[in-house]
Amino acid sequence: MWHTFVIKLKSSLRTPAVLFWMIAFPIMLSTLIQGVFGGIASGEVTLEPAPVAVVADETWTANRGADLFISMFASSDGKFATAATNGGTALFTRVDTDDEAEAQALMHSGKALAYVSAHDSGQLTLTLSQAAAADIAQVKSGGSDGRAWSLITLGTMVEQYNERSSIIADAVRQAAAKDPGKLADTAWIARQADVNMDTLTKPVPGIRHADTMARYHFAILAMSMLMAMSTACSMLTTLQANLSHLGARVSVSPLSRRARIFAVLLASWLVTFLCMLVVYAYMRIVLHASIPGREGLAVLAIALGSGTATCLGLALGAIPTLSLGTKSGLSVAISLTLSIFTGLYGNMSFADSIQRAVPALQYLNPAKQMCNLFYDLLAYDSLAPFARTVGVLALTAALALALAAFELRKMQYEHL
């Protein structure tokens, strides 16, 4: 058995295709993604003030808080200056209009990319032009248009203003109904109106600081581990008598079938583990996609993910009627398809929305679970999420191994 293990291990490590797809390809892909999205994720984007119209009608005039809030992010001199009236970075240049029709005309003419209006309820609305919406969609996919990012930031600030206004309004209504004396308490009013940025940016208990780019790198690592199914498929197929000449010779050797399968399992797992360890070391040292304080658990995650991929590869490779080429193609297709739901292709929001809409679906996706191994270590103080993911992958590996054993147990040959 050990002789078979050593032969399989050496032959895999000497195969250029294995080294390319399991080491070179994920390293090149992670480097490319870091180059495309790294600057945006690290905040290296220069904001450029965008022309924005303000509908200064009677509703707007009556809402003094809205005018003060918007003016804080407008350029101080009305031109394309970088300084806002509050001393920070200006997000837009302000152009006042009498009504929405005039603001829409400015957008149609290209003189404004958006306009802000107020409602009787005190809420603000940021309306984008078609050109601005297209620019925003492009930068979310990796662009660096300074004006588009300014509009995204302005939209976020408007949402926060509306949310804060609703909270204050609810607090005032409750105070008026239950304790009217609070309305005369200037200290209480100041506490409700105060917006402390330290409070808004205070870390949530139990959540660790996570590098945005690390999620992409770990999604690549998960995809690479799952693609290692093809390695197990290849090793097992060469031992099947009906699919290879080597398998025909090995099947009549004194070595038992159980020993051959165990040798394939161990060799495939070790090859995958070593290759993924090299990829992770590159991400850790060169791309700085690390898991501070939990590097040992990250290595354990690689070992578990590699074992799960090997078991899945054995289950696929044990199918007696499919050729090696078909099995290899299926392993790659399955890996690439399942990686869509890890956010690998640059759309993390899509992956997150799927997980929120159908939480149970992630447990059926080994690529997602392999990605969660690293994300749980990266994002949570508690190890409970990591332990849950370990349990899911261990169960997946056990089921795949049982399926492979069942398929191989039923394999019989009338002649070779």
pLDDT digits (tens, 9 = 90+) for 172-201: 677 777 777 766 666 665 565 554 444 444
Checking if the pLDDT of 102 tops 80, the result is yes
- Element containing residue 375 per DSSP (H, E): helix 366-379
Reduced to 3 states, what is the DSSP secondary structure of residue 388? helix
pLDDT at position 80, please?
Answer: 39
pLDDT at position 244, please?
Answer: 59
Checking if the pLDDT of 391 tops 90, the result is yes
Reduced to 3 states, what is the DSSP secondary structure of residue 244? coil
**Average pLDDT of the chain?**
77
Checking if the pLDDT of 301 tops 90, the result is yes
Q: How far is CA 322 from the centre of its chain?
A: 34
HSE, side-chain direction, 13 A CA sphere, residue 350: 11
pLDDT at position 200, please?
Answer: 40
Smallest CA-to-CA distance from 66 within 165, 172, 186 is with 165
- Retrieve residue 47's tokens: 């904001």
pLDDT at position 242, please?
Answer: 53
Could you tell me which residues come within 8 angstroms of residue 45 by beta carbon, excluding any fewer than 6 positions away? Answer: 39, 144, 146, 149
pLDDT at position 143, please?
Answer: 54
State the Cα torsion 75-77-82-85 to the nearest 10°: -50
What is the DSSP track for 195-239?
Answer: --HHHHTPPPTTB----HHHHHHHHHHHHHHHHTHHHHHHHHHTT
Average pLDDT over residues 285-296: 84
Percent of the chain whose predicted confidence (pLDDT) is above 90: 15
State the Cα–Cα distance between residues 55 and 195, nearest whole angstrom: 25
pLDDT at position 133, please?
Answer: 82
Phi and psi at residue 248, in whole multiples of 5°? Answer: -65, -40
State the Cα–Cα distance between residues 384 and 366, nearest whole angstrom: 19
Residue-wise pLDDT tens digits, 133-172: 887 776 655 555 677 878 888 888 888 888 777 776 677 6
pLDDT at position 299, please?
Answer: 93
The pLDDT-based confidence of 241 (bands split at 50, 70, 90) is low
pLDDT at position 332, please?
Answer: 85
In the block, tokens 């009338």 appear at 414
Residue-wise pLDDT tens digits, 332-355: 888 888 888 888 776 676 777 787
pLDDT at position 165, please?
Answer: 74
With 0.75 as the threshold, say if the pTM is over it: no
User: Residue 206, by phi and psi: left (phi above 0), alpha (psi -120 to 50) or beta?
Assistant: left
pLDDT at position 395, please?
Answer: 95
State the Cα torsion 291-296-300-302 to the nearest 10°: 50
- Retrieve residue 103's tokens: 């603001």
Residue-wise pLDDT tens digits, 11-23: 777 788 888 888 9
State the Cα–Cα distance between residues 157 and 163, nearest whole angstrom: 10
The pLDDT-based confidence of 268 (bands split at 50, 70, 90) is confident
State the Cα–Cα distance between residues 356 and 352, nearest whole angstrom: 6
Residue-wise pLDDT tens digits, 37-91: 665 555 555 667 888 999 988 888 887 778 878 887 787 444 433 444 444 567 7
State the Cα–Cα distance between residues 287 and 33, nearest whole angstrom: 10
Could you tell me which residues come within 8 angstroms of residue 260 by beta carbon, excluding any fewer than 6 positions away? Answer: 1, 4, 239, 250
State the Cα–Cα distance between residues 37 and 264, nearest whole angstrom: 39
State the Cα torsion 286-291-297-302 to the nearest 10°: -50
- List residues bridging with 96 in a β-sheet: 54
State the Cα–Cα distance between residues 127 and 111, nearest whole angstrom: 14
State the Cα–Cα distance between residues 10 and 326, nearest whole angstrom: 24
Position with higher pLDDT, 67 vs 368: 368
State the Cα–Cα distance between residues 257 and 137, nearest whole angstrom: 56
Smallest CA-to-CA distance from 408 within 311, 317, 310 is with 317
State the Cα torsion 134-140-142-145 to the nearest 10°: 60
Position with higher pLDDT, 186 vs 380: 380
